Chain A
Amino acid sequence: MQLIPCPWCGPREEAEFHYGGQAHVAYPEDPSALTDEEWARYVFFRDNPSGPFAERWSHNAGCRRWFNAVRDTRTHDLLAVYRVGEPMPEVTA
C-alpha cells in the first residue's frame, strides 16, 4: 500500500485516491476548430513513458481535491506532487 503525498493532506494510503490519467492535457479552447484527428488525439491518445510521468490524482476519500503528481512508471515512486494550475516541477528520476 503505497503512500501518496496529497499536497493538501500529506501522505495518505493509495486506496484513498483515484487515478486521473495524464496531466496537462487541457480541454481544447475551441473543439469545433479542430480536425477529427486533432480531436481524436485529445480524446483517445495519451503518453505512456517508461520513466517520469506527470499525471492527475484525486484524493477521493480525503479532501476530494485533484492534484498533479510526477510518478516514475518504472518504480511507482512519486517524484513530486503539485497543485492544479502549477507547472510541472523539474524532477530527477
Chain B
Amino acid sequence: MNLRTGTGGSIDRNTLLHFTFDGRAYTGHPGDTLASALLANGVHEIGSSVKLGRPRGVVAAGSEDSTSLVQVEAPFSEPMLLATTVELHDGLRARGLAGQGRLAAEPDPARYDAKHEHCDVLVVGAGPAGLVAALTAARSGARVVLVDEQNQAGGALLGVDEYLDDRPSAEWVADVVAELKSTPGVLVLERTTAFGMYQDGFVLALQKRTDHLGFAAPAGVARQRVWRIRTRQTVLATGAHERPVVFPDNDRPGIMLASSARTFLHRYGVLPGSRAVVFTTNDSAYCAAIDLAESGVDIALVVDARPEAPARLAAECAARGIEVRAGQVVTGTEGSGRVSAVHVGDTRIACDALLVSGGWNPVVSLFSQARGKLRYDAELGAFVPGGELSTVRVAGSATGELDLTACACQGRDAGLLAAAAAGFTSGGQVPLPASDSRCTARSGLVLWRVPGDDDASFVDLQRDSTVADVLRATGAGLRSLEHVKRYTTIGTAHDQGKTSGMIAAGIVAEALGVELAEQRPTTFRPPYTSVSFAALAGRDRGDLHDPVRVTAIHPWHVAHGALFEDVGQWKRPWYYPRAGEDLHTAVLRECRATRESVGMMDGSTLGKIDVQGRDAGKFLDMLYTNMMSTLKVGRIRYGVMCGVDGMVIDDGTVIRVGEERYLVTTTTGNAAKILDWMEEWLQTEWPHLDVHCTSVTEHWATIPLVGPRSRDVLAAVAPGLDVSNEAFEFMTWHDTEVAGVPARVCRISFSGELAYEINVTAWHGVAVWEALMAAGEPYGITPYGTETMHVLRAEKGYPIIGQETDATVTPQDLGMSWAVSKKKPDFIGKRSFARAENNRTDRKQLVGLLPADPGVLLPEGSQIVETDRLPEPPVRMLGHVTSSYPSAALGRTFALALVRSGHERIGETLYVPVEDSLVPVTVTESVLYDKEGARRDG
C-alpha cells in the first residue's frame, strides 16, 4: 500500500533510498525518517510490547514517541532506537523489537567525542519562539548557541503548511537561520538534543553528526558528539507535546497523535491511512482532519469530547463533508494488528487510522532539571513552568502558550532579557511573524481517560502499564506520583513522562480525589532522550579510558616477557614466566632464587615525597606514630601513619637527607593520598610550620636488589662504595655511583634478606637495571615481580596496607606497638589508642595461619570460624584470611589473617570454610621465616 502523497513535504522525491525492515526491502527518500518511510509503505506495525506482546506502531512523529522501537542492524548494530528519530539512508537495515533489543557483540568502530562550548545565551529549540529568541540575543552582540533536535530548524512549523506573514513558513525560518549563521559568535547546531541541564548554566547536548549518512559517513569524523555547554543564560523554547487520551484498546498500530499525523503529512508527504477517525478534546485536531481530508484521506468522523464542537471549525468540516459528533468519546477499538474499527458509543466505524488529541503538554523537562518549579494549569491540563529562575527563561509553547505570534513574542522578550542579563543591551527589535493558522488549542477539555476495560487502557504503551496498574498502585496506598511512577514504571525508559506522565498524574488525582494542583509532579531527570554509553564515553575508551603509568624500566619488562598487574594506574611486573611456567611455578622459582642467591625488582612505583623546611622533623613527628625528628642524617626509619581515629592509613620508610630535608616513601597506591594528607594538615591546621612537600615519585627509578648475594652484585657495579656490613649498616643510605651514574643506595629490606634499594634518576633506570642484571649473572640474578615480593614479605609477616588492613586496623593490631612512640606528647592517632574500643582484647589482630595439610591453599578473603563443624547460623566469624601463598622457603602453604584476639590464640587450631569442607589451621605468629632476623646482614 502506497501512502505517499503526490507532492509536498521536505523530502527529495527524485532520489530513492533502499532499506530493509524485518528482512523486507522498501524504498524511501532523503528527508524521511525510518518511521515515515515505513508508514509510506503501509507498514504501521513496528514491533510488539515488552510484557504482553501486543503489536506496537508509531504513535508520534518525533522523539516523544515511545513505541516504534527498532534495532538497527546495519551499518552498525544498535538497539532500542525509535524509528521516528532514525533518519533514513541508503542501505539501512533494521528490524522491529519486542520491547527489548540486544547490544552489539563486537566493538563499535565509530568514533565519539565531546566538545566544550561557552556562550552568553543558549537557546534550546529552533521553533518560532527559539528562533526569535536566538536572533534577538544575537543582534545584541551576545555569543549565542542555538541547539535543535531536528535536522532542520522550524520546530512545530515543520509539521504544518501554514503561512507566516503571507509566505510559506519555511521561508521565514530560512531567513532567520541564514542571519543567525552569518552572525559572528553564533553557533547553530542541528540534530543536537539538549538532554541534561545542570547547575551554573551547564548543559549537555548530543549531536548526531553522521548517523544520517549511514554507510557514506566519512571515517575519522565523530559519529556523535556530546557538547558540554557552559552558558550564562538559557532560553528554553522546547515546545509542547501532544497528549493522547486513554481509552480501551488504545494501543493498536494506526492509533496516532493527531498533530503527528499532520506532521507526517506536511513534513514527509505521508498519509496515516486511507480512512481515519479523529478523536479530540480541543481545536487543534481539526487542523489535522481538514489537512488530511484535503490530501485525500477519508475522514470518517471527528469525535469531539466537548459538549459542543467549535462552530467555525465544525463548519469547515461540514464544507468538506466531514461528520463531527460532539459530546462523544471513543470507547474502544478493533483490529488484529492494525486498528480496523473504532467504537463510539454503540457505533462501530471501520477505519485504518485513529488520530487522537487530548491537548498539549509543555516540554518542561529541562526547566525541571534546572530546579524550576512547576505549576498545574487547569485550563491546559498540564504542568507548566511556575517559578522564576535567574538564568533560565522559558518561551513559546513550553510555557503553555500555543498562539504562534504570542510564542514568538515570548521568544523575543526572553532573548532580550537573557542577553541583557548577560550584559548585552544593544540590538534591534526582531519583527514578530503572524500566522494564518485556523486552530488554537485553547478552550480544550481536560480528559485523561475514557472509562472501560482498565486492563486494556494503556497509560504507558512502551511499559505495557495500564489504568489498572495505576489504580492498583493507588489502591495499595501510594499517594505520591513519584511512588506511583516507581510502582508502575510509567514514564520510565524512552518516554520519560513525555506522553504518559501527565495522564498518569491525572488518573492518580482522580483516583485519590485530590486536586492536581496539590500534587507534586515527578522530577524530570536527565537524559531527556536516550543517549548511548558510547557517546557519553566519547574518546575515553580503550587505552584512553584511564591514564596508564609505566616506570622508566617498563620497556625492559615488556621485552623480557613480564606479565603485568594493575596497581592503581601503574603497570607493575607481576612475574616473569619462563617457557612452560604458570604463576605458581614462576613465583616459586623467583622466591627461591632470591632467598638463595639474588633477585631484583622494579620498585619505582613506590610513592616518594620530598619534605623540606625548618619544621620538617616536627611535622613528620606529628604524622608518623614514631619519632622522625631524632633520625640522623644518613639514616632511615620505618614509619606508620594513622588517621585521627588511630587506624593505619599508610606505612613506608623515611630517609633523612639533610638537616631540613626528608624523603618519605609511601605505598604505591597511596602516594597521592598521602601527599594530600600532608597538604591538608599543613594548610588547614599548621600553616605556621615551615614545611614544603612535593611528589618525586617519577623522578627516581628504584631497584631493590635482594638476597644473600646482593652485596656481591652491588660491589661489582659500585666500586666506590664500601658495601661491608660495618661500613654500610642496615637502615642507612649512601650517595655513590652505580654503573657509572649517581645513585642513592639505601639498605632496607622488605623480604628479610640482605637487600639494597638502588635509586637513580629515571633517565638512567634501564641502564642501571641492565648493569645489575649483567653483574648478577654469575649468581643467577633473577628479576621478580609483585607476586614474589608479596610472598617474600608475607613470609616475614610484613603487612601490606590495604591488603592486611582496611580502615579498622591499628598498629597494635598489626603487632607493631614497637613503631608507636611512647615519648612523643602527641601525634595523629595517639589519643585514639587510649579509647576503650582500641583496647578491647577481642580486636582482630594479625597472625599467621598454617593449614594442617601443607598443600592446601586458603582462598584470600576466607572466613575463619572456631569449630570443626558449622553451628546453626548465625555463625560467629573470627576474622578472615588477608594473604595466602605457597612458600618455597617454608615448603608449604601459609596465610596471614586478621583474627579476633589473634595474639592470644597462637597455637590454637581454628577452621576455614573452603567450598564444602572446614580446613583446620594452626594460628602462629605473623613472622614465619627467619624469626631471629639472621639473614638481614647477609
User: Which A residues lie at the B interface, using CB under 8 A?
Assistant: 1-3, 11, 18, 20, 26-28, 30-32, 34, 36, 39-40, 42-44, 56, 58, 60, 64-66, 75-76, 84-85
Contact = CB atoms under 8 A, between A and B. Distances in A.
B836 A32 contact: no
Interface size bracket, B side: 20 to 34
A66 B683 contact: yes
B200 A2 contact: yes
Contacts of A60: 676
B578 interface: no
A75 B371 CA distance: 9
Contacts of B645: 43-44
A26 B685 contact: yes
Nearest to B644: A43
Given A3-B199, A43-B832, A84 B680 contact: no
A36 B676 contact: no
Given A1-B199, A1-B202, A3-B199, A32 B825 contact: yes
Contacts of B438: none
Which residue, of B200, B644, B676, B830, has the highest number of chain A Cβ atoms within 10 A?
B200
Contacts of A66: 679-680, 683-684
A2 B830 contact: no
B622 to A, nearest CB: 9
Contacts of A58: 676, 679-680
Contact of A84 (B202, B644, B676, B684): B684
Contacts of B826: 30-32
Nearest to B828: A27
B556 interface: no
A66 to B, nearest CB: 4
B185 interface: no
A2 B683 contact: no
B835 A76 contact: no
B676 A18 contact: yes
- For the complex of A and B, the 7 pairs showing the least CB-CB separation, nearest first, are A31-B831, A2-B199, A3-B200, A66-B683, A1-B202, A27-B685, A66-B684
Given A1-B198, A20-B680, A64-B679, A31 B685 contact: no
B687 interface: yes
A69 B835 CA distance: 32
6 contacts: A2-B200, A3-B202, A31-B831, A58-B676, A58-B680, A76-B199
Contacts of A64: 679
B835 A39 contact: yes
Interface in B164-203: 198-200, 202
Contacts of A44: 645
Contacts of A42: 644
Contact of A39 (B371, B685, B831): B831
B684 A56 contact: yes
Given A43-B832, A84-B687, 17 more contacts: A1-B198, A1-B200, A1-B228, A3-B199, A20-B684, A27-B644, A28-B831, A31-B831, A39-B831, A39-B832, A42-B644, A58-B676, A58-B679, A58-B680, A60-B676, A75-B371, A84-B683
Nearest to B675: A64
A27 B684 CA distance: 10
A42 B834 CA distance: 15
Nearest to B371: A75
Interface of B: 198-200, 202, 228, 371, 644-645, 676, 679-680, 683-685, 687, 825-826, 830-832, 834-836
B836 A36 contact: yes
Nearest to B204: A1
Contacts of A39: 831-832, 835
A66 B677 CA distance: 11
A37 B85 CA distance: 63
A71 B199 CA distance: 14
Contacts of B228: 1
B718 to A, nearest CB: 38
A1 to B, nearest CB: 5
Nearest to A3: B200
Contacts of A2: 198-200, 202
Nearest to A38: B831
A76 B202 CA distance: 15
Contacts of B685: 26-27
Contacts of B676: 18, 58, 60
A27 B228 CA distance: 41
Nearest to A2: B199
Contacts of A84: 683-684, 687
B683 A34 contact: no
A60 to B, nearest CB: 7
A42 B830 CA distance: 14
A34 B834 CA distance: 11
Which residue, of B202, B680, B826, B831, has the highest number of chain A Cβ atoms within 10 A?
B831
A68 to B, nearest CB: 9
A26 B681 CA distance: 11
Contacts of A40: 835
A34 B683 CA distance: 24
Contacts of A26: 685
A43 B198 CA distance: 34
Nearest to B202: A1
Contacts of B834: 32, 36
A14 B684 CA distance: 20
A17 to B, nearest CB: 12
Contacts of A34: 831
B370 to A, nearest CB: 12
A65 B683 CA distance: 7
A44 B643 CA distance: 12
Which residue, of A60, A66, A85, has the highest number of chain B Cβ atoms within 10 A?
A66
A85 B676 CA distance: 19
A36 B835 contact: yes
A42 B826 CA distance: 15
A31 to B, nearest CB: 4
Nearest to A23: B684
Contacts of B202: 1-3
Nearest to A44: B645
Contacts of B836: 36
Nearest to B645: A43
Nearest to A40: B835
Contacts of A11: 200
A43 to B, nearest CB: 5
Contacts of A76: 199
A85 B687 contact: yes
A28 B834 CA distance: 16
A1 B228 CA distance: 10
A65 B684 CA distance: 9
A18 B825 CA distance: 31
Contacts of A20: 680, 684
A65 B198 CA distance: 26
A33 B167 CA distance: 87
Nearest to A30: B826
A38 to B, nearest CB: 10
A37 B683 CA distance: 27
Contacts of B199: 1-3, 76
Nearest to A28: B831
B839 to A, nearest CB: 11
B831 A32 contact: yes
B6 to A, nearest CB: 51
